[in-house]
Amino acid sequence: MRHAHPVETVRAAEAELMARLPEGALMQRAAAGLAATCARLLGRVYGSRVTVLVGSGDNGGDALYAGAALARRGARVTAVLLAPGKAHAGGLAALRAARGRVTAEQEVGLADFSCADLVLDGIVGIGGRGGLRPGAVPYAEARRRGVVVAVDLPSGVDADTGEVPGVALRADVTVCFGTYKPGLLIDPGASYAGAVQLVDIGLTLPQPELTALQHADVAALLPLPGAESDKYRRGVVGVAAGSATYPGAALLAVAGALRGGAGAVRYVGAAAEEVVRRFPETLVTEGGPAGAGRVQAWVVGPGGGEGARQALAEALASDVPVLVDADGLTELGRIGPSALAGRTAPTLLTPHTGEAARLLAGADGGAPAAADDLAARRLATARRLAAAYRATVLLKGSTTVIADPGGAVRVNPTGTSWLATAGSGDVLAGLAGSLLAAGLPPLDAASVAAYLHGLAGREAAGAPGAPVTALAVAEALPAVWRAVRQA
Ligand SMILES: NC(=O)C1=CN([C@@H]2O[C@H](COP(=O)(O)OP(=O)(O)OC[C@H]3O[C@@H](n4cnc5c(N)ncnc54)[C@H](O)[C@@H]3O)[C@@H](O)[C@H]2O)[C@@H](O)CC1
Ligand SMILES: Nc1ncnc2c1ncn2[C@@H]1O[C@H](COP(=O)(O)OP(=O)(O)O)[C@@H](O)[C@H]1O
Ligand SMILES: [K+]
């Protein structure tokens, strides 16, 4: 499990550790880890060209000490001071002592930047506010031939949210200290970070609110049949999806549900004939969720069309977990959070940002939000929805973020934009519903589903990648289950 902590928590842990260590020791640890990664990336340090972009804080200090370490090993290092007079004094002295060059001239800095084998971005770290300041913007736009290594965080990315309020410097590798910052895991910030490496500097940190699953975590959560299992004990997932206009959504949700670990899939809706023809293992019931037989969790809404309102009302009236997607979310947005007020079992909402905008419009009375703005503030959006509806929210898109109303957040690391294809969300809904029916709590069901769905998207796209269909994503699920269990 990867853990991320907000700046306030990191600072408190740093202060506590610094009080027990000789002055500067923590920065030396950070710089040593940073220099080791740079040396690995360079392969041959001696004779290589390294440019260090230096801002006014300790982030620049880390970069300067790492630059000094590389200079001592024979690299030709130039420090470019973006805030001359404010650069970290100790780091600057160390670089000079190692015979590094120092300049404050932008023209020289830009020329150096463009021909360096490696650039260290020490402009700003967790102390940053807003995007890059004007003096640093040309570096984000300049030609580059070497690898750019961000120190702790790509400059211009908000550490706590992943928001990029202005221009940011894109990195190939980010070396972060002590813990991941949320901004390294959540887009758009995550897309600036490249490959992220964590350097342990000995911080003692509390349980994180924000986590990202890895293979071993998912493997431990997957519902597996035991010797005494039967289909009911494994869980029956009810799928209320599809309509005369959108029968395909029913097929795709059922396809996802069949590969999610429940013992059986029960379908209700207008596409029963198509569903049984394609998936004869599906149980089909006439009418809506209210009259269906035993079900441990409902999936309502994919392609639900005009039937979504009634199906939603019936599913929400049940005492089992309900996943609401697509047309179900549109109906829910019309009513607002009061629709969930009487529920005794958990509810999981799976909006994309357009649906999130509609849900918010029906929720907390705030100003109407555009989907693009919500996408730029993914963490805040998922949290706001979870709080307003008192439900678990899986916000889909470039980084899928899952927020529990209690405050816990999971970020999915496996996504791929090949999944941006019609119907792949229906597969995800069926898959997550199946995991709910198998007994996983909503945060786990949603984050395991997003994880497997992302891997299945990659598996279906192959390497170097080709367009995928939603059904191919569903069909790739058994292979990714195996891959996760084998890891
Ligand atoms: N405190 C410590 O002992 C440690 C700190 N570490 C490093 O220190 C960093 C935090 O250092 P600081 O608290 O000094 O903060 P930063 O170095 O991240 O930035 C603060 C400085 O940047 C300026 N600034 C803010 N926003 C800016 C922007 N958008 N563009 C340009 N300048 C901007 C501020 O005026 C301030 O002078 C971490 O990210 C990490 O790299 C590590 O060395 C680990 C140990
Ligand atoms: N840019 C992207 N990068 C990664 N995943 C994406 C991107 N855009 C969409 N996705 C994923 O693709 C799926 C699309 O779901 P959705 O928007 O509901 O489509 P549909 O309604 O057609 O099924 C979601 O799992 C979402 O997270
Ligand atoms: K930085």
The closest ligand to the CA of 177 turns out to be 1
Of 151, 179, 210, the residue at which a domain comes to its end is 210
User: Using an 8 Å Cβ cutoff, are 38 and 120 in contact?
Assistant: yes
Residue 210: HSE in the Cβ half-sphere, 13 Å Cα cutoff: 26
Claim to verify: residue 311 and residue 437 sit in the same structural domain: yes
* Domain interval for residue 79: 2-210
User: Is 155 part of any known ligand binding site?
Assistant: yes
Write the DSSP string, 187-242: TTTHHHH-EEEEE------PPPSEEE--HHHHHHHS----TT--HHHH-EEEEE--
| Domain tally, the chain | 2
Claim to verify: residue 194 and residue 323 sit in the same structural domain: no
Claim to verify: residue 229 and residue 168 sit in the same structural domain: no
| Among 245, 348, 352, residue to substitute to test ligand 2 (most atoms within 8 Å of Cβ) | 352
- Nearest-atom number in ligand 2 for the CA of 426 is 23
- Is the distance from the beta carbon of residue 179 to the nearest atom of ligand 1 less than 6 Å? no
Q: Exposure string (b/e) for 218-242, b if CB count within 10 Å is 16 or more?
A: bbebbbeeeeeeeeeebbbbbbbbb
Claim to verify: residue 221 and residue 286 sit in the same structural domain: yes
Written as tens digits, the pLDDT of the chain (487 aa) is: 999 999 999 999 999 999 999 999 999 999 999 999 999 999 999 999 999 999 999 999 999 999 999 999 999 999 999 999 999 999 999 999 999 999 999 999 999 999 999 999 999 999 999 999 999 999 999 999 999 999 999 999 999 999 999 999 999 999 999 999 999 999 999 999 999 999 999 999 999 989 999 999 999 999 999 999 999 999 999 999 999 899 999 999 999 999 999 999 999 999 999 999 999 999 999 999 999 989 999 999 999 888 999 999 999 999 999 999 999 999 999 999 999 999 999 999 999 999 999 999 978 766 778 999 999 999 999 999 999 999 999 999 999 999 999 999 999 999 999 999 999 999 999 999 999 999 999 999 999 999 999 999 999 999 999 999 999 999 999 999 999 999 9
User: Is 396 part of any known ligand binding site?
Assistant: yes
Residue 363: predicted pLDDT: 86
- Phi, psi dihedral angles at 346 (to 5 degrees): -70, 155
Burial class (CB in 10 A: 0-12, 13-18, 19+), 16: exposed
Between strands 2-4 and 210-212, the pairing is: antiparallel
Within a 10 A sphere around the Cβ of 181, how many other Cβ atoms? Answer: 30
Q: By C-alpha distance, which of 126, 122, 114, 153 is closest to 52?
A: 122
User: Is 128 part of any known ligand binding site?
Assistant: yes
Residue 367: DSSP 8-state: P
Claim to verify: residue 166 and residue 239 sit in the same structural domain: no
Residue 481: HSE in the Cβ half-sphere, 13 Å Cα cutoff: 18
* Beta strand extents in 325-363 (DSSP E only): 347-349
User: Using an 8 Å Cβ cutoff, are 435 and 445 in contact?
Assistant: yes
Residue 368: predicted pLDDT: 75
CATH of the domain at 67: 3.40.50.10260
Number of helices followed by number of strands (H, E) in the chain: 20, 18
- Phi, psi dihedral angles at 203 (to 5 degrees): -70, 145
CATH of the domain at 476: 3.40.1190.20
Claim to verify: residue 357 and residue 292 sit in the same structural domain: yes
The closest ligand to the CA of 193 turns out to be 3
The closest ligand to the CA of 252 turns out to be 2
State the ipTM, two decimals.
0.94
User: Using an 8 Å Cβ cutoff, are 333 and 345 in contact?
Assistant: no
Using the mean position of ligand 2's atoms as its centre, give its distance from the Cα of residue 472 in Å: 14
- Is the distance from the beta carbon of residue 91 to the nearest atom of ligand 1 less than 6 Å? no
Claim to verify: residue 293 and residue 383 sit in the same structural domain: yes
| Among 398, 411, 419, residue to substitute to test ligand 2 (most atoms within 8 Å of Cβ) | 419
Claim to verify: residue 302 and residue 408 sit in the same structural domain: yes
Which residue's CA lies nearest to atom 19 of ligand 2?
425
Claim to verify: residue 18 and residue 116 sit in the same structural domain: yes
Claim to verify: residue 191 and residue 156 sit in the same structural domain: yes
Of 194, 210, 226, the residue at which a domain comes to its end is 210
Claim to verify: residue 186 and residue 240 sit in the same structural domain: no
Of 155, 184, 210, the residue at which a domain comes to its end is 210
pTM tops 0.80, yes or no:
yes
- Is the distance from the beta carbon of residue 133 to the nearest atom of ligand 1 less than 6 Å? yes
- Phi, psi dihedral angles at 338 (to 5 degrees): -60, -25
The closest ligand to the CA of 154 turns out to be 3
Using the mean position of ligand 2's atoms as its centre, give its distance from the Cα of residue 58 in Å: 39
User: Is 234 part of any known ligand binding site?
Assistant: no
Helix 247-258, helix 470-486: angle, nearest 10? 10
Residue 369: predicted pLDDT: 86
- Is the distance from the beta carbon of residue 29 to the nearest atom of ligand 1 less than 6 Å? no
Helix (H, G, I), strand (E, B) or coil at 407: coil
Tell me how far apart the alpha carbons of residues 189 and 167 are, in angstroms, rounded to a whole number.
Answer: 11
- Which residues approach ligand 2 with their CB closer than 6 A? 326, 352, 396-398, 400, 415-417, 419-420, 422-426, 428, 453
User: Is 469 part of any known ligand binding site?
Assistant: no
Residue 362: predicted pLDDT: 79
User: Using an 8 Å Cβ cutoff, are 40 and 48 in contact?
Assistant: no
Tell me how far apart the alpha carbons of residues 348 and 390 are, in angstroms, rounded to a whole number.
Answer: 10
User: Is 3 part of any known ligand binding site?
Assistant: no
Within a 10 A sphere around the Cβ of 463, how many other Cβ atoms? Answer: 7
Claim to verify: residue 141 and residue 257 sit in the same structural domain: no
User: Is 425 part of any known ligand binding site?
Assistant: yes
Residue type, 36: A
